[in-house]
Amino acid sequence: MQFREIDPDYARTLKKAYAAGVEIIPLQASVSPQKIEIVRELPFDI
């Protein structure tokens, strides 16, 4: 399921931000009680 289907308001706002020049960096993270670790950058299609 894509973010557009989960939260259409978020999708519209993200698209506006991107059009205004905001850099979008989607990341996958591993979260535990001790730390949050970035695993990798994710591909995305606005």
pLDDT of 17 reads: 96
pLDDT of 3 reads: 74
Phi, then psi, of 31 in degrees rounded to 5: -115, 130
pLDDT of 8 reads: 92
| Tokens 């259409």 found at | 8
pLDDT of 1 reads: 60
- CA 46, CA 16: separation in Å to the nearest integer? 10
- Residues in the chain, overall count: 46
Each residue of 8-29: pLDDT tens digit?
A: 999 999 999 999 999 999 999 9
Are 38 and 27 a contacting pair, CB within 8 Å? yes
Residue 16's SS3 state is helix
| E-strand stretches of the chain | 27-31, 36-41
pLDDT of 27 reads: 95
Q: What is the pTM of this model?
A: 0.67
